[in-house]
A and B are shown apart, each in its own frame.
Chain A
Amino acid sequence: MSIVSQLATILLNGLQQGAIYVLVAIGLSIILGTLKFVNFAHGALYLIGTYLGLLITLTIRVSDGKLAEWGFGQVGLGWGFLPALIIVPIIVFGVGLLMERFVARPFYDRPDTDQILLTFGLAIVVQEAFKILFGGQSYNFARPARTSLGPLELQLSGPISLPVVGTIGIWRLYVIAITAVLVALVYLLIEYTDFGLVVRAGTRDAEMVRLLGVKITRPYLMVFGVGAALAGIAGVVGGTLYAVNPNIGMDVLVPSFLVVVIGGVGSIRGAVVGGILIGLTLSSLVAVAPQWSQVGIYVLAAIILLTRPQGLLGSEEVAP
C-alpha cells in the first residue's frame, strides 16, 4: 500500500470520526461562547436524537426495561432514515428551547459550578430515564441499504471503492458531507444574518446590546435551540455508526468538550478545526502507535492549552 493511499485513508477516517464531534461541539461552543452557559446535558440531547432517530427509522424489539413490561415489545415507526434526519432536529430543537427556558435561563447568572452540577445531573436523569424505558441493552441502528429521494436513488450503506483510498464504507462519506453542509449553514446563519449579528454582538457585550434596545433573550433561545438541533442530528448520524445504548450521550460529551477547548470557545471555525484535529490525531496514531491513540487526544489538548489557553481560534476574554 502506497504512502499516499495510507495518508488518504487516515485523512478520511479522521474526518469522519471528527465529524460527529464537530456537530456536537458546535452546539456546545456557541452556547458556551454566547450564553456563558456550561451545558453538560448536551450529550443528553445527542442521546435523545439517537433514540428518536432509531424509533423513527426502524421498528425495534424491546425485551428489557419498562416499555417491555408495559407490553410495548415492538416500538418504532419504521418510516426510514430520511424522515428521521428531518424530524429529529425539529423535535430536539424544541427540547432545546424548553431546556433553555426552564433549565438554563434561571442559571445564567449563577457560577459555572452550579451550571455544571445542574446540567450534569440533568444528563444523568435523561440517561437513566432511557435505561428504565429501553433497558441497558444495545440496539442496532441499521440504515436501509438504499433510499430514494425523488428521482434520485441513493446508496446509504455498504462499501464503495474509491481511487487511491481503496474500499471504504459509503456511509462515512455521507457523514462527512452532512457535517460539512450543516456547519456551512450554521456559519452563514451566525456570520451573515441579522440574527447572527445580534448573537455575535451579545457574545462580545450583552449589556451593551441590551442598552441598544435589542431584546436579547430571543436570540439566546434560538442559539440554544440550534445547538440542540445539531446535537440531535449528530445523534441520528452517529447512532448509525455504533451500537445504541443509554451511555452514548456521556461517551460523546468528553471528546466534544475537548474539541471546544482545542478550537476555542464560541468559535464555529474553532470547533471544526478542533474536531478535525482530534479525528486526525486518533486515526493517525492508530496507524502508527495504536496504544497511544486515546492518550494522544488528551496530550494534544494539554499542549494547546499550555501554549494557547484560549484555544486555537478562540479570542482572549476582554476584562469588563
Chain B
Amino acid sequence: MLGLNKADLRLYVIVLGLLIFAPFIMNPFPEGSGLAQFNGGYPDLLQKLVIFGIFAVGFNILFGLTGYLSFGHAAFLGVGSYAGVWMMKLLTMNVIPALIVSVLVAGLLSVVIGYVSLRRSGIYFSILTLAFAQMCYSLAYSVLTPITGGETGLTLSLNDPRVLGASQTAEGNIPAPHFFGLEMSSSATWELGAWSFTFNIGYYFCAIVMAVAFYLAIRLFRSPFGLMLRAVKSNNSRMTYTGLNPRPYALAAFVISGMYAGLAGGLMVAMDPLAGAERMIWTASGEVVLMAILGGVGTLIGPILGAGVIKYLESIISTINSTILHQWFAFLPDGLENFVVAVIYPFVGKGWHLTLGIVFMLVVIFLPGGIVEGGKRIANLFRRKRADDSAQGSASAAPKPGE
C-alpha cells in the first residue's frame, strides 16, 4: 500500500497513530495529581515536538544517508522562519503561502551553501557549513536588520500592508495565522473524569505536514536515489571510479534536507509568528545533530524519536525547580532529603543542558545507533531468551534421536 513494503507500512502506521493520538499519549496523568508535572499534552509542546521532528528527519536525509555532517542546518530553519513571517506581513495570514515560500527560500539558500560546501568533504565540510551558518547569523543580527529585525527579531505589526486580508482585526488586534479560516491557536478541550485533553488545530496541522514529510522521507530512503546516497556514504571514491559523479547526488540531498529545515522554520512561524536570529546560531545546529544522533542516525524513525525525547525533556526537566524536588523527596529524613535534592538539583531546571550533554556523550560512546539501536538490543535480548526457552522446552519434551 502507498508504495511501501510491509515493514515500512507498519512503521508509517505507527507514526500516524502516534501523531493522531499524541494528545492522549502525552497526557497520561490526571490533572492535579502529583505526576501532572510530566504531562506534555499541551499544544505548545506538541507542536514543537512535531516541528523539530520534521527538522530532524530532514537533517537525517543528509547526514544519515550521505554521511555529510552539517553543522549549519539551523541557518535554513532561520531563513525559513524569516521568509514565513515576511509572507504573513505582506501577503496573507494563511499559512500555506508562508510555508511554500519558507521551503523555497530555504531551498535556494541551501543550493548556494551546498554548492560551495560540498566541494570539500569530511571535517572541512562541517567547518564550511558552520562558517556559512555563522555568517548568516551575523548578517541577520547586524546588517540585514531592516529585513530581519536584528536583535529584537521579526514580528508582525498592526500596520503590515497585507494584500489579502486585513492588517488588523475588528478589535484592533493582529490577525492570527490560519489555514483557510481555521485558526492555528484555537483548540478544543475534552474533560474526561480527572483528565483533560487538548486538541489544537495548529498541532493537527503540523501533524498532517509531518505525515506527508515523513512519507516522502520513507519513499526517498527506499528509492534508487536513496541507494545512490548510501553509496556516497560508503565509498565516495569507488563511486567516482564507476563513472558516476557523486556531487550532484550529495547536493540534491543537501537541498532536500535544507528544504525540510525551511519547512520546519515556516511551521514555527505558522504557530507563533515571530522569527529571531538566535534560531540560527551554531549551537542550534548542534541541537538537531544531537536529536538525530540520540534517536539513531540513518534510521527512519530515529530522528523523530530523538527530537521528541529532547524537546519533551527540555520542557519538562527545565521546569523542575528545588521546591518541586523538595516535595518529591519530602518522605526522606530531613538531612537526607536536602542531600538528595542538592545532588539532583544541578541536573534539572536551569541545569538541564548538563543532563543533555551527559546523555548525549553516553549515547555517542556506548550506543552509536541511538535509541533505535537500544530498542533493538533490548528486543534481541528478549527474543534470544524466548528462543532459548522454547529450544530448551522442545529439547526436554522430545529429545531428537542421534544427538
A binds B: no
